[in-house]
Amino acid sequence: MSLSITSNSAAASAGYYLAKNQAAMEMSMRRLSSGKKIVTPYEDPGNLSVSMKINASITRLAGAQNNLQNSISFLEVQDGILASAATILTRMNELKGLASQDPMKSSQDIASYDDEFRDLQVQLYQMSSATFNGVSLFANYGINGSESVFRNTSTYNTVSVHTSSDGSSGSKISLHKSALLAALTLRSDTLAAATFSSANNLATAGSPGVFSFAATSSGNGMTLDKVSTGVFDKALSNVAFLRAQMGGSMSRVTIASENIARQKTNLSAAQSRLMDVDIAEESTRMARYSVLIQAGAAMLSQAASMRAGNRTHSACPRAPASYSHLGCCSLS
């Protein structure tokens, strides 16, 4: 009577654990190669969801920080032009002294100074229309005649910059476009601010009238004999005020940018704790699975050999079913 073996539970068990350890080792390899603790959603759906939200916040903050950096560039270019305007006004003041305080100057010399003086007025007007990436750096304040009070910040043109990841619903900073033309336009009698559109560049110093250090063309510019020395100081004071105002905006934008940078750093650290794999721990885990796989492969091979031996023993005609685990020779 022969013995029939229809299953090998030892081999089945060894195969099961071998496949399980193989899958675990492959997961460890994916984590180590990707650097991520969560490779597939089913591993930790909750933390994966939190990580995605944090990543979205980081991306929005990066956009806000980029906008603030552009704002800093905007203000830096604006300040550079204001500094140049101050330099031009200083040169104008120097020309006034050269033309009026040196009796040795001929009328031709004075005419040359006047030419330079008028050209500088045109340069100031052209500077007032400068732009940054298509956005005007200076307000049209003082040009259309509807605004006439210099330093009245409520009437300045502004540019709003958002400083949070909440977009339009979050906090923002309003940057004033410097009123350069208004700073250069004065009443000749009181030195009070006036609108550029009402300026009469032929006004005589000391008499009522409005004049501007900016001119649309050299033909419309003032000559040196029409301007007193005191108005240069007033115009320089106005430009200095604009630079101080710009400095305040620059400080606020810089602080906002630094605050966003700190938020990004903290959120990145939080995301790292959720998603980044511990290399040492995962490497140890993979080494463990490697050992288990080698042992499992050996056990599976041994279980298969045991089954082959059992089949040989079952073919022995002298072996009863109860002694199928023994060899034929043991029954002799």
pLDDT at position 88 is: 95
pLDDT per residue as tens digits for the range 16-58: 888 888 888 888 888 888 888 877 777 778 888 888 898 888 9
Q: How far apart are CA 90 and CA 101, in angstroms?
A: 16
Q: How far apart are CA 311 and CA 321, in angstroms?
A: 12
Q: For the segment 167-204, what is each residue's pLDDT rounded down to a tens digit?
A: 666 688 878 777 788 888 876 655 555 555 555 544 44
> Across-strand partners of 210?
187
Assess whether pLDDT exceeds 80 at residue 62.
yes
Q: What is residue 44's predicted lDDT score, i.e. its pLDDT?
A: 79
Six-digit token string for 185: 């336009």
Q: Which residues of 123-144 are buried (b: 16+ CB within 10 A; e: fewer)?
A: bbbebbeeebeeeebbbbbbbe
Q: What is the pLDDT of residue 135?
A: 83
Look-up: residue for tokens 């330079």? 116
How far is it, in rounded angstroms, from Cα 96 to Cα 88? Answer: 12
What are the C-alpha distances in Å from 262 to residues 53, 257, 305? Answer: 18, 9, 64
Would the pLDDT of 86 be above 90? yes
Q: What is the pTM of this model?
A: 0.69
Q: Which CATH architecture has domain 51-275?
A: Up-down Bundle (1.20)
| Residues 122, 3: Cα–Cα separation, whole Å | 114
pLDDT at 195: 52
Q: Is the pLDDT of residue 143 over 50?
A: no
Confidence of residue 100 (pLDDT cuts 50, 70, 90): confident
pLDDT in tens, 240-292: 988 988 888 899 899 989 999 999 999 999 988 888 888 888 888 888 888 88
By mean pLDDT, which of 73-82, 132-141, 203-212, 271-280 is the weakest? 203-212
